[in-house]
Amino acid sequence: MTEQNPYAIVTEDLDLWYGDFQALEKVSLNLRGGIITGLIGPSGCGKTTFLRSLNRVNERYGNVRTEGTINLLGKNIYDPDVSLIELRKSVGMVFQRPNPLPISVYENVVFGLRIHSPRSELKRSVLDEAVEQALREVILWDDLKDNLKQKATELQLEQQQKLCIARLLPLKPEIILMDEPCSALDVEATAAVEELMLTLAGKFTIVIVTHNMAQARRVSDECIFMLLGEIIEHDRTEQLFLAPKNPKTSDYIEGRYG
């Protein structure tokens, strides 16, 4: 991003159908780079569909049709020359439940590097450095540096979710998508993952779907309210919660809808 173009994600008239069902309708947004943007709204409003559009993961489900444009870092991701592999390297995703691979902590972190890098570049020193750097980034290094051979699925849920974030970092993403990343965590673990999000903000552009409006207020710089596949309101988080411009937003925030 530059001062002239501060937006990392720009969508114009984005429509998406699952078969005959239209899940997104004329979604046009400018999302600033280097901040956390929250997506809120009732179940089925299109939040996760929109999130999964940003790295074209929706296309894995079949029978999906998309119209409009999504420009990430100045490039339309639907251009014919776009590589899905490269797109998903630069746009990482964290899911609702931690999904570490049933292999060691070390191998989880370097998994992407082993897939995407020539073997000649994967010297042990390079891998070791990538593991340490990624685990330090997610504040896990001190806890796990002596247990890198431990099976990742044996970690606490909080550690598993942080590890899933760490797994993205060696591929040097610019955007991180989070789909309710704390929904499976207890209060203490949620606080730890939120603290990590705030630490990563500024280094990455983060878009988070959450049903927890208190969480949206705590971690997001800007917030988007969606309803029935449409954008109802997009503003600074404080403004959207304290003085929403649209009565539908006010109804949702105050518990009169959804």
Query: First CA to last CA across the chain, in angstroms?
Result: 36
- The Cα–Cα gap between 154 and 104 comes to 9
Q: What is the pTM of this model?
A: 0.93
Q: State residue 176's pLDDT score.
A: 97
Q: State residue 2's pLDDT score.
A: 44
Q: State residue 188's pLDDT score.
A: 95
DSSP 34-60: TSEEEEE-STTSSHHHHHHHTTTGGGG
- The Cα–Cα gap between 61 and 136 comes to 35
Instruction: Locate the domains of the chain by residue range.
Output: 7-253
- The architecture (CATH level 2) of 7-253 comes to 3-Layer(aba) Sandwich (3.40)
pLDDT per residue, tens digit, the chain (258 aa), is 444 568 999 999 999 999 999 999 999 999 999 999 999 999 999 999 999 999 999 988 889 999 999 999 889 999 999 999 999 999 999 999 999 999 999 999 999 999 888 787 789 999 999 999 999 999 999 999 999 999 999 999 999 999 999 999 999 999 999 999 999 999 999 999 999 999 999 999 999 999 999 999 999 999 999 999 999 999 999 999 999 999 999 999 988 765
- The Cα–Cα gap between 27 and 14 comes to 5
Q: State residue 120's pLDDT score.
A: 76
Q: Considering just the CA atoms, what is the radius of gyration of the chain in Å?
A: 19
Q: State residue 38's pLDDT score.
A: 98
